[in-house]
A and B are shown apart, each in its own frame.
Chain A
Amino acid sequence: MRIFITLAIIILSGGTLLAQQPTPPTNLKVADFVNDAGDRLQLTWNLSEDDPALDGSDAEDASTEDVPAELDNPIIQYRIDRQTSGDSEFEEVGTVDAGIDEYVAKELEQQKYTFRVIAIAADGSVSVPSETASGTPIVQWIDKSKIAFGIFMLIVCGSVVYFIEMAKAGRTLNVRKIAGLEAIEEAVGRATEMGRDCLFVPGIQDINDIQTVAGITVLSRVAELTAEYDAGLDVPTTRSLVMTTARETVEGAYTAAGRPDLYNPDNIYYLTDEQFGFVAAVTGKMVREKPAACFYMGAFYAESLIFAETANTVGAIQIAGTAMPSQLPFFVAACDYVLIGEEFFAASAYLSGEPQQLGSLKGQDVGKFIAAIFLIVGAVLMTVGEFISPGSEGEGSGMFREVILFIKDGLLGN
């Protein structure tokens, strides 16, 4: 009798142990990872039935009865094993958290690989492996998802180059007057009359920021003017690479203006990379030396208002140019003239007056035209589609759904 009881206990507990082993993931598929260098494979599978994520989604669906509301031993991870062709053994290559049903295998060669996925439960028990699946990575020489993007890029860049060439060939281009740029000469002139310096801050980002480059090109025109008028020029920088570039620029400008003797590299100097240390130094200088004209051209952050308000109290004329939308309101409120976004990028071309530079502005207009067409077409399609048959938010609906999805994912994509 005792033997029977013991046997029964063993069988029952064995049964419990068996029940605790999690169910494996199913339907494992291995496919080439699209648009890659041929070193990756994309794995997908159906979640194990013991996956809490599956449980959550099923709980909302009242028709599913066989999934318990609370899992005793939920899955916490999936382990991915890989077998390289020729090897006999599987080796672990990675894990993903429960609820995730995909994995990208990386750093592969162009040969056949076989995979299997194993579910790991909270108590450490593992499922039997899923059925295996194999695949071979393929090299793609063109990222097809970026073709539409590439075409837009070619059109926009092509039109910039086209109009530059047109301008070189002698076609005259009209550019509207930009008040902020007209005022630069006035500001430098005023500084000369008052016998005070012009202060130029080329933003607080490094030279790899295109706004800094744009700021430096404006600096070159301002420096030409200060050389002509014999006004002082003070350029504090927050990055040493910007300092080096600015020195080259200003030296070139002074030489071009025929006054290389006036160039003093000490007036273009590095202060600190630290934002508010820089603010303290520059505002201190403003208060002590009272510059007559202040130019802020580049990427600015919280310091914009501190600079502009301080310079305002010393009575300086202020011209700012930046492509930081969040700082534009502060500059607009506190400065005399502000170059907003693309006006700032247009400044160098405008100030140089060279036809080939002005041509680039015309090219930008083509880009703007394309953007406007997309905006209008997209808005019209979404609106009309919504009226005809309302559908899920953001993806359009009914007859236009396909078109909208094509524009969103196919043309605009990533």
Chain B
Amino acid sequence: MKRLVPIVIASIVGFVLILAKFIPPIQSWEENVVLWFDILAVFAFVLGGGNLILNHLKKISDRQAGWGFSVITLVAFLGTLTVGLLKIGVPPNEKYLDYVWSGDYQAEGSAFWWVFSYVYVPLASTMFATLAFYISSAAFRAFRANNIEASLLLMTALLVLVAQTSSGPMLTDFIPDDSSYAIFKVENIKGMLVNLFNTLGTRAIMIGIALGVVSTSLKVLLGVDQSYLGGD
């Protein structure tokens, strides 16, 4: 029963929405389902927040290794939630000055905006920026011409890297744009690699993926694959 009900719901909603795609008067049902998902997602925030609090409270009470970090996590979480919900420091909307809560919670100068600009932005940028460092270590370790395929990959990578610089294209500037050898200019080789070979490969992978999506979705809708519900 625990598995049957979700499968029946998934099947009915799934197949009705597929049909709706072809029947104009009920095409808008899809929009409603999108809105339902948003409503579900709101409950998910509560679920996620609750789990986060429980998990870290448990770590703190068990004095698990690194419980100090859990304290920081909880303080940051509850602090941000509070200043956002209570709209601390938010000026009211210019059109509704009498209503103190009419302003946008992210309005410039508010506490939430401050957290966003001076805590979140630098932290997120820093984490993303670490990617550049990992790329250099991966390039050193993984880009090695062990065999023919790897050598081709290496050559392609080097060419694209050179072409993506400002000075790279200058290497072949001696070839006139209108000569029949123009295809050997660095930027043109890169253009061919990116627009022709890359696009070809990506399209093939995308077609495969699309079919995989169809098949996986069908298995879910037909209840053939129930492993996501905790069983076979």
Contact = CB atoms under 8 A, between A and B. Distances in A.
**A–B direct touch in complex (beta carbons closer than 8 A):** yes
B213 A345 contact: yes
A341 B219 contact: no
Interface in A303-343: 305-306, 308-310, 312, 323, 325, 328, 330, 333-334, 340-342
B138 interface: yes
Interface residues of B, number: 60
A318 B202 CA distance: 24
Contact of B27 (A37, A206, A271, A306): A37
Interface string B208-232: 1101111111111010110111111
B52 A270 contact: yes
Interface string B28-39: 100000000100
A306 B45 contact: no
Interface stretch (B98-106, B122-130, B185-193): B122-130
B218 A256 contact: no
Nearest to A265: B51
Interface in B39-86: 40-41, 44-45, 47-48, 51-52, 55, 58, 65-66
B229 A360 contact: no
A356 interface: yes
A325 B135 CA distance: 17
A137 to B, nearest CB: 11
A262 B180 CA distance: 70
A127 interface: no
A276 B128 contact: yes
B184 interface: no
B25 A360 contact: no
Contacts of B40: 241
Contacts of A306: 127, 130-131, 134
Contact of A269 (B45, B51, B131, B207): B51
Nearest to B216: A345
Mostly, the A contact residues are: helix
A363 B215 contact: yes
A53 B12 CA distance: 50
B158 to A, nearest CB: 14
B227 A251 contact: no
A368 B208 contact: yes
A274 B231 contact: no
B155 to A, nearest CB: 15
A139 B24 contact: yes
Nearest to B124: A276
Given A160-B214, A305-B134, A360-B218, A280 B21 contact: no
Contacts of B142: 333-334
Contacts of B141: 312, 334
Interface of B: 18, 21-28, 37, 40-41, 44-45, 47-48, 51-52, 55, 58, 65-66, 123-124, 127-128, 130-131, 134-135, 137-138, 141-143, 202, 205-209, 211-220, 222, 224-225, 227-232
11 contacts: A161-B218, A216-B227, A217-B225, A250-B230, A253-B227, A306-B130, A309-B137, A345-B213, A354-B232, A364-B211, A364-B215
